[in-house]
C-alpha cells in the first residue's frame, strides 16, 4: 500500500524514448507500446470530462455509481453480511466510488475502501472524493482477511493487449516499428499455432486476434482471492464474449478517434475486452462467472427507471437532464458496454444476472 505520490520525472518525452529504444533493440510488441503509452498518459493528466479526452458513465450521471453500489450492497446483504472491503480498480476521479459509497451506506454497508490506481494525478483526485481510501499499485496488496467486493468500470480496456496477425503461412506477433519519428505496426516473429484458439486458427490472411495477458492475469489473481476469501467482481467495459477476431485497438483524443500509433502517451489507448476469456479464467480459478450482459440490462435490472423518476420528482428543474443522462447510459452505451460478474462459490446470484 502506498501514499499519494508525486509524478516521477520522465527521462525525456515518451515518443523520443520509445523511438530510441526501438532504434537500439528493434521493434517492440504492441503490448509494450500500449503499456508505455497508457502509463505515461494516465500518469500525467486527468483525461476525463468535457475538457479532457473522454467521458465515462459515472461522469455522466450519479445514477451509475449509485446502482453499482446497490448491486454490491445487495449481494453482500444476501451473502450474510460478511466482513468485507470494497475495492475499485482504476477509479478515475473517484466519482463512481463516492456515489456507490453513499448508496451502500444507505443500505447499511459501510466497508473500508481500497483503490488500485497507478496514476499520481488521479490518486490526488480520488483522495478529494474519498479521503478515507487506501491506495494500491496492483491487486497483490489488497486485504487477505475478508471478502472483497470489487468494481471496475473502463479499467480492463486500458490494460495492454498483444495483437496477433494472420499471414499466409501462419500467425505472427504484431510489433511497432519506428521510421524517423513515425510509429507504425509491422509483422514480427511467428507465434506457435497453439497460442491461437482452435476455432480461429484458420482465419484469412490479415485477420487480427487480440489477447490481453495483463487482463487475464488480473482476473485470475482476483478470482483466486474471491474464491478463497468470498466476494465478487463487477467489470463493465466495451467488449465481447470472445475470443473473437478484429482489430479494436483505438486511440481517443479530445473526444475524437485518432491513429493509435500516433503521439504515444498523449492520447488514450484502449481495446475491447474479451469477456469470454476473462470468464473462463475466473472459472478456472474457482469462481462462478455470470454474463457478460449488456450495460442496459444491468442498469435496467437495477431499476434505473425508478431511480430516474425519483430523482426527477425531487429535482423537477433537472427532470429533462436526468432523462437525457438515463438515455446516454441505456441507449448507445447501453448496448456497446457489457458487464461481467464473478462470485465466490456459494454466494447468491448477483442482481441483474439471474434468469
Ligand atoms: N473508472 C473510471 C476511470 C476510467 S479510466 C471511470 O469510469 O471514470 C481508466 C482508469 O484506470 C484510470 O483511473 C487509470 O489511471 C487507471 N489505470 C489504467 N491502467 C492502470 C493500471 N495498469 N493499473 C492501475 N490503474 C490503471
Ligand 1 within 6 A of CB of 48: yes
Closest CA to 235 of 124, 110, 89: 89
pLDDT level of residue 3 (50, 70, 90 thresholds): very low
Spacing, Cα 250 to ligand 1 middle (Å): 16
Ligand 1 within 6 A of CB of 219: no
Closest CA to 143 of 115, 102, 123, 118: 115
Spacing, Cα 274 to ligand 1 middle (Å): 17
Mean pLDDT of 227-241: 97
Cβ neighbours, 10 Å, residue 160 = 21
Tell the residue nearest (CA) to atom 2 of ligand 1: 92
Q: pLDDT at position 1, please? A: 43
Side by side, which strands form the sheet with 256-258?
256-258, 250-253, 268-270
Q: Does the pLDDT value for residue 4 go beyond 80?
A: no
- The vertex-280 CA angle with 243 and 298, nearest 5°, equals 85
Q: What is the pLDDT of residues 135-184, one digit of tens each?
A: 999 999 999 999 999 999 999 999 999 999 999 999 999 999 999 889 99
Q: pLDDT at position 2, please? A: 44
Mean pLDDT of 261-280: 97
**Pocket-testing residue among 32, 34, 42, ligand 1, by greatest number of atoms within 8 A of Cβ:** 42
Average pLDDT, the chain: 95
Mean pLDDT of 46-59: 93
Q: Does the pLDDT value for residue 224 go beyond 60?
A: yes
Q: How far is 115 from 91, CA to CA, in rounded Å? A: 7
The atom of ligand 1 lying closest to the CA of 59 is 8
Q: How far is 4 from 124, CA to CA, in rounded Å? A: 6
pLDDT-above-70 percentage for the chain: 97
Q: How far is 27 from 333, CA to CA, in rounded Å? A: 36
Q: pLDDT at position 10, please? A: 52
> What is the model's pTM?
0.96
Q: What is the pLDDT of residues 197-218, one digit of tens each?
A: 999 999 999 999 999 999 999 9
pLDDT level of residue 8 (50, 70, 90 thresholds): very low
3-class DSSP state for residue 248?
A: coil
Mean pLDDT of 123-146: 98
Tell the residue nearest (CA) to atom 14 of ligand 1: 90
Provide CB contacts within 8 A for 156, sequence distance 6+. 212, 215, 218, 219, 235, 237, 239, 273, 278
Ligand 1 within 6 A of CB of 59: yes
Closest CA to 57 of 296, 354, 313: 296
The atom of ligand 1 lying closest to the CA of 47 is 5
3-class DSSP state for residue 250?
A: strand
Ligand 1 within 6 A of CB of 58: yes
Cα-trace Rg, the chain: 21
3-class DSSP state for residue 131?
A: coil
Grid coordinates representing 321? 437532464
In the numeric block, the cell 520509445 is attached to 18
Provide CB contacts within 8 A for 65, sequence distance 6+. 58, 95, 96, 97, 98, 99, 100, 103
Tell the residue nearest (CA) to atom 11 of ligand 1: 90
Burial of 122 (0-12, 13-18, 19+ CB in 10 A): buried
pLDDT level of residue 11 (50, 70, 90 thresholds): low
Ligand 1 within 6 A of CB of 122: yes
Amino acid at each position: 500500500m502506498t501514499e499519494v505520490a508525486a509524478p516521477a520525472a520522465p527521462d525525456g518525452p515518451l515518443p523520443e524514448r520509445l523511438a530510441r529504444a526501438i532504434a537500439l533493440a528493434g521493434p517492440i510488441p504492441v503490448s509494450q507500446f500500449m503499456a508505455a503509452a497508457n502509463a505515461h498518459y494516465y500518469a500525467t493528466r486527468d483525461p476525463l470530462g468535457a475538457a479532457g479526452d473522454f467521458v465515462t458513465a459515472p461522469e455522466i450521471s450519479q445514477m451509475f455509481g449509485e446502482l453499482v453500489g446497490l448491486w454490491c450492497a445487495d449481494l453482500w446483504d444476501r451473502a450474510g453480511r460478511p466482513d468485507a472491503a470494497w475495492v475499485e480498480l482504476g477509479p478515475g476521479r473517484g466519482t463512481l466510488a463516492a456515489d456507490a459509497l453513499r448508496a451502500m451506506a444507505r443500505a447499511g454497508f459501510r466497508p473500508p475502501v481500497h483503490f488500485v490506481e497507478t496514476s499520481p494525478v488521479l490518486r490526488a483526485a480520488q483522495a478529494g472524493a474519498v479521503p478515507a481510501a487506501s491506495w494500491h499499485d496492483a491487486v497483490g496488496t489488497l486485504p487477505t482477511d475478508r471478502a472483497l467486493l470489487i468494481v471496475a468500470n473502463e479499467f480492463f480496456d486500458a490494460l495492454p493487449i498483444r495483437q496477433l496477425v494472420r499471414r499466409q503461412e501462419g500467425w505472427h506477433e504484431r510489433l511497432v516499428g519506428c521510421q524517423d519519428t513515425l510509429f507504425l505496426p509491422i509483422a514480427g516473429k511467428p507465434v506457435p499455432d497453439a497460442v491461437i484458439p482452435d476455432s480461429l486458427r484458420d482465419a484469412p490472411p490479415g485477420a487480427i486476434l487480440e489477447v490481453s495477458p495483463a487482463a487475464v492475469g488480473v482476473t485470475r489473481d482476483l478470482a483466486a482471492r474471491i474464491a478463497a476469501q468470498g466476494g465478487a467482481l463487477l467489470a463493465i467495459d466495451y467488449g465481447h464474449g470472445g475470443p473473437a477476431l478484429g482489430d479494436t485497438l483505438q486511440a481517443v483524443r479530445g473526444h475524437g478517434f485518432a491513429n493509435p500509433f500516433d503521439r504515444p502517451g498523449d492520447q488514450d489507448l484502449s481495446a475491447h475486452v474479451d469477456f469470454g476469456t476473462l470468464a473462463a479464467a475466473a472459472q478456472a480459478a474457482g469462481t462462478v462467472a455470470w454474463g457478460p450482459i449488456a450495460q442496459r440490462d444491468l442498469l435496467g435490472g437495477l431499476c434505473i427507471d425508478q431511480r430516474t423518476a425519483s430523482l426527477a420528482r425531487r429535482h423537477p428543474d433537472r427532470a429533462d437532464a436526468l432523462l437525457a443522462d438515463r438515455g446516454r447510459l441505456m441507449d448507445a452505451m447501453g448496448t456497446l458496454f457489457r458487464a461481467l460478474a464473478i462470485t465466490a462459490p456459494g454466494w447468491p446470484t448477483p442482481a441483474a444476472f439471474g434468469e
